[in-house]
């Protein structure tokens, strides 16, 4: 088995001792889309000891362009992403213990799975889940690596509880666009660039080389040849509800969670979020999706066979379905 990882162990910052550490470590990946499948494959090839992968969705045709563990058979059989990923990963490295969970990640379903986890890799597609994950990681003192990509742009940041700014601090200091792959598209190299940053940071954490970790937020635009690192030291706030002196873990509270309900007799699901939206910004972003209508109070868009209406007060109506899961999927596809 030493021969399998020989080239990796030859890399001096890892070495044989680092390889042994990797073989003993436990990583959780939240999300099994583009970032999640690539990160999972990289960790499995690197010889991670135990891997948990979580995703609520199944494989669709549009996934095959960038989600590298899936094939046409997975799409034809509508295989859950976590299950399809596990099958491919076990074929790559049968020595790795892999647990696949087909589920909606909430603070209630996710927290029991964090026991013994050494690192969390973010591969989610929305900030509701990321902010919940941020609170859970701070509460349980688990490092995690944020990553996101859309179009030809991406970013990544490594979060160490009690040491670095958390995601909430970063969002307060440098608001991030809510553009999604469904609204502006994505090219495959963008995914690989984010994964390269996330996986490299993951290996540093797994071999316990904290001194080599990147302390800056990295952002890039491959198409426009832009690359930037932004210092985030001053972003950390003592008053932060997630990583501050007196954390309240706001996004683990019921009041802060996104609420859903089926509207009786209307073939409509309502989603309620505490965050108010900018009608103008949302309307401009949705123009590439379909026909957009707006006034001072709401913006609506035709998306596939659904009509989606966003209200300024944070409510959203998804007309054309009585399925909460379908409604949430559409909501996150459009809002990020």
Q: Domains along the chain?
A: 6-252 (3.40.50.720), 258-335 (3.30.310.10)
Q: List the structure tokens of 33.
A: 């889309």
Write b or e for each residue in 110-126: b if 16 or more Cβ atoms lie within 10 A of its Cβ, otherwise e.
beebbeebbbbbbbbbb
Q: Residue 303: name the closest of 331, 265, 270 by CA.
A: 331
Report the alpha-carbon distance of residue 144 to residue 202 in Å, rounded.
9
What's the pLDDT tens digit per position in 187-227?
Answer: 999 999 999 999 999 999 999 999 999 999 999 999 999 99
64 contacts 71 by C-beta, under 8 angstroms: yes
What's the pLDDT tens digit per position in 112-137?
Answer: 999 999 999 999 988 888 999 999 99
Question: What's the pLDDT at 177?
Answer: 66
From first to last of the 336 residues of the chain, give the pLDDT tens digit.
579 999 999 999 999 999 999 999 999 999 999 999 999 999 999 999 999 999 988 898 989 999 999 999 999 998 999 999 999 999 999 999 999 998 878 888 999 999 999 999 999 988 888 999 999 999 999 999 999 999 999 999 999 999 999 999 998 887 676 677 777 889 999 999 999 999 999 999 999 999 999 999 999 999 999 999 999 988 999 999 999 999 999 989 866 677 787 776 678 888 887 666 778 888 888 888 888 888 877 888 998 899 898 887 788 889 999 888 888 888 888 886
Report the alpha-carbon distance of residue 27 to residue 48 in Å, rounded.
8
Residues 6+ apart with CB under 8 A from 30: 36, 54, 105, 110, 120, 121, 122, 123, 124, 129, 133
At residue 258, the 3 state secondary structure works out as coil
pTM: 0.82
């Amino acid at each position: 088995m030493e021969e399998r990882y020989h080239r990796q162990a030859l890399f001096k910052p890892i070495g044989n001792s680092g390889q042994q550490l990797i073989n003993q470590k436990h990583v959780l990946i939240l999300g099994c889309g583009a970032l999640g499948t690539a990160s999972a494959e990289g960790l499995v090839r690197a010889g991670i000891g135990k891997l948990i992968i979580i995703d609520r969705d199944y494989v669709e045709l549009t996934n095959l362009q960038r989600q590298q563990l899936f094939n046409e058979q997975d799409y034809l059989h509508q295989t859950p992403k976590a299950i399809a990923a596990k099958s491919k990963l076990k074929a790559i490295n049968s020595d790795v213990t892999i647990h696949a969970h087909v589920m909606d990640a909430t603070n209630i379903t996710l927290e029991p799975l964090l026991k013994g986890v050494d690192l969390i890799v973010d591969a989610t597609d929305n900030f509701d889940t990321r902010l919940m994950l941020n609170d859970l990681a701070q509460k349980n003192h688990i490092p995690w690596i944020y990553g996101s990509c859309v179009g030809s742009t991406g970013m990544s940041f490594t979060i160490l509880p009690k040491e670095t700014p958390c995601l909430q601090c970063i969002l307060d200091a440098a608001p991030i666009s809510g553009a999604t792959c469904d609204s502006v598209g994505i090219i495959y190299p963008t995914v690989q660039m984010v994964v390269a940053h996330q996986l490299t940071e993951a290996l540093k954490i797994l071999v316990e080389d904290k001194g080599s970790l990147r302390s800056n937020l990295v952002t890039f635009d491959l198409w426009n040849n832009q690359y930037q690192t932004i210092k985030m030291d001053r972003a950390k706030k003592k008053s932060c509800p997630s990583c501050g002196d007196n954390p309240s873990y706001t996004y683990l509270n019921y009041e802060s969670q996104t609420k859903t309900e089926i509207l009786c007799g209307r073939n409509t699901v309502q989603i309620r979020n505490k965050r108010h939206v900018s009608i103008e910004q949302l309307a401009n972003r949705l123009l590439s999706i379909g026909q957009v209508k707006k006034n001072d109070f709401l913006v609506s868009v035709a998306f596939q066979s659904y009509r989606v209406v966003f209200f300024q007060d944070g409510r959203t109506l998804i007309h054309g379905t009585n399925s909460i899961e379908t409604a949430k999927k559409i909501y996150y596809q459009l809002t990020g």
